[in-house]
Amino acid sequence: MSGYNPYDNFLDVLDQAAKEVKLHRNDYETIKYPERELKVSIPIEMDDGSLRVFEGYRVQHSTLRGPGKGGIRYHPDVNIDEVKALAAWMTFKCAVVNIPYGGAKGGITVDPKTLSQNELKRLTRRYTAMILPLIGPERDIPAPDVGTNAQVMDWIMDTYSIMKGYTVPGVVTGKHIDIGGSLGRAEATGRGVMIITEEMLSRLGKKATDCRIAVQGMGNVGGISAKLFAATGCKITAISNVSGGLYCPTGLDVAEVIEFAKTAPITEYKKDGVSYITNEELLTSDCDVLVLAALENQVTADIAKKVKATMIVEGANGPTTVEADKILNKKGVIIVPDILANAGGVVVSYCEWVQNLQSLNWDENDVNVTLKKVMIRAFDSVYEISKQRGIPMRLAAYIVALERLCISRELRGIFP
């Protein structure tokens, strides 16, 4: 959408939540503004000897409830408004699941697929050096996001540690297990999506195994949640990535599709009963549950009018526009918002950070048990507000988070 600003999306819902609980402007005014915004230039010598300068960002939206927490995104569309919005959503996400973090986010405007491994390493190390004054285990803790992974986190941790003169595993989460990562972290966001989906369906008197589920996205969130759903006997009728999607009314072999897509375009996958569809066709396909696990701004007003799903679960950040939200609510579509549905990643990031600070390693089962407990507790608090006030789940989630943030603001006061 031309001219669309995701931060305006955040502010719109924030104002709605404040109005619903009759907050005075002074109670939440500071939450409208990020605490810090850093823009950096990142000069890199490319493999061919040429010099390129990339733009990078790190935004700390709020550290009211603890250190900033949020991923680092490598994508050609990264810009300051997107990073600000993602940082703000992280603030609210951490407050919804009630973990002692604030919200932050970072990114570089780059297509990582066009860089060699060495160029990616040099880019990451220089970016880390440029944002070094802002990050740290007690200040701001990055994590993987779109276009980044455990290897990128390893490089950030190493660069930060070299600059400090000693190893600091707690500066990032989402690292490889061998250098302080947590078991269960890679699957955490997708697992959290599944937990929340099952919990919402159970409140509606339904079982996930009786529903047709469509998943937009085959990355760390969509791919894993689709695999986990399929492993429990759920029918995945559609799945997609950037090249397009597949549809099968009787259910796809998700594991086979994801494995195939690692080496070939999804459009080349052939099997009886499976047809090729576009991403838009996936969003409007005949299904019961639609999991949005790609990028923000996917369901627009035009698409919302054609959505057939009765329930949407936001595995991605900000995938539904404000206009689409209103249309879907009028249609009676239940939307489980991003700041609740995809919070599994930050919950297990918190587990990883705690393990790093205490120099301990938890069993994977302990991590998954903690994840489920925290996610269900968060769901219960949001669902209760939603039912009590007769409001959509998104507004209820913002209210839960906003009230916690306002309490922290009141207790801490305004400096000086």
Which whole-number Å values give the CA distances from 365 to 196, 255, 341, 373, in the listed order?
18, 23, 21, 12
Mean pLDDT within 232-252 = 93
69, 93, 105, 121: which is the annotated catalytic residue?
105
Per-residue pLDDT reduced to its tens digit, 397-409: 999 999 999 999 9
Q: DSSP secondary structure string, 383-399?
A: HHHHHHHT--HHHHHHH
Grouping H, G, I as helix, E, B as strand and the rest as coil, residue 190 is: helix
126-155 per-position pLDDT tens digit: 999 999 999 999 999 999 998 999 999 999
**Measured between alpha carbons, how far is 352 from 347 in angstroms, rounded to an integer?**
9
Query: Which segments of the chain belong to CATH 3.40.50.10860?
Result: 34-172
Question: Per-residue pLDDT for 354 more than 60?
Answer: yes
Where in the chain is CATH 3.40.50.720? 188-336
Q: What is the pLDDT of residues 17-52, one digit of tens each?
A: 999 999 999 999 999 999 999 999 999 999 999 999
Dihedral, 162, 165, 170, 174 alpha carbons, nearest 10: 10
CA 218 and chain centroid, separation: 14
Cα 44 to chain centroid distance, Å, stands at 28
Mean pLDDT value across residues 359-364: 95
How does pLDDT run across 245-283, given as a tens digit for each residue? 999 999 999 999 999 998 888 888 999 999 999 999 999
Question: Do the Cβ atoms of 225 and 194 come closer than 8 Å?
Answer: yes
What is the token pair recorded at 138?
């007690």
Q: Residue 1's pLDDT is what?
A: 45
pLDDT for 242: 86
| pLDDT of 168 higher than 70 | yes
> Which residue is listed with tokens 């619903």?
20
| CATH number of the 34-172 domain | 3.40.50.10860
**Average pLDDT over every residue of 368-394:** 97
Phi, psi of 308 (to 5 degrees): -100, -20
The SS3 assignment for 173 reads coil
For residues 184-211, average pLDDT = 95
Beta strands across the sheet bearing 51-62: 36-45, 51-62, 103-109, 68-75, 140-144
pLDDT value of residue 193: 97
Q: Where are the alpha helices (DSSP H) in 149-244?
A: 150-164, 188-203, 222-231
282-312 pLDDT, tens digit per residue, is 999 999 999 999 988 899 999 999 999 999 9
Whether the bond between 6 and the residue before it is cis, its omega within 30 degrees of 0, is no
Would strands 235-241 and 36-45 be described as parallel, antiparallel, or unpaired?
unpaired
The shares of helix, strand and coil residues in the chain, as percent rounded to the nearest 5, are: 50, 20, 30
Q: How far apart are CA 28 and CA 241, in angstroms?
A: 38
In this prediction, residue 385 has a pLDDT band, given cuts at 50, 70 and 90, of very high
Residue 243: per-residue pLDDT: 84
Q: How many Å apart are CA 54 and CA 68, to the nearest integer?
A: 24
Task: Enumerate the β-bridge partners of residue 216.
Answer: 240, 292
Identify the CA nearest to 240 among candidates 319, 306, 348, 318.
Answer: 319
What pLDDT is stored for residue 3 in this prediction?
Answer: 60
Catalytic annotation present for 175 = no
| Alpha-carbon separation of residue 387 from 12, 41, 311, 381 (angstroms) | 22, 48, 16, 10
Percentage of the chain modeled with pLDDT above 90: 91
- Specify the residue for token string 């009765």: 310
What average pLDDT is seen over the chain? 95
pLDDT tens-digit map of 81-110: 999 999 999 999 999 999 999 999 999 999
At the topology level of CATH, where does 188-336 sit?
Rossmann fold (3.40.50)
Spell out a b/e string for 29-50, using b for 16 or more CB atoms within 10 Å of the CB, else e. Answer: eebeebbeebebebebeeeeee
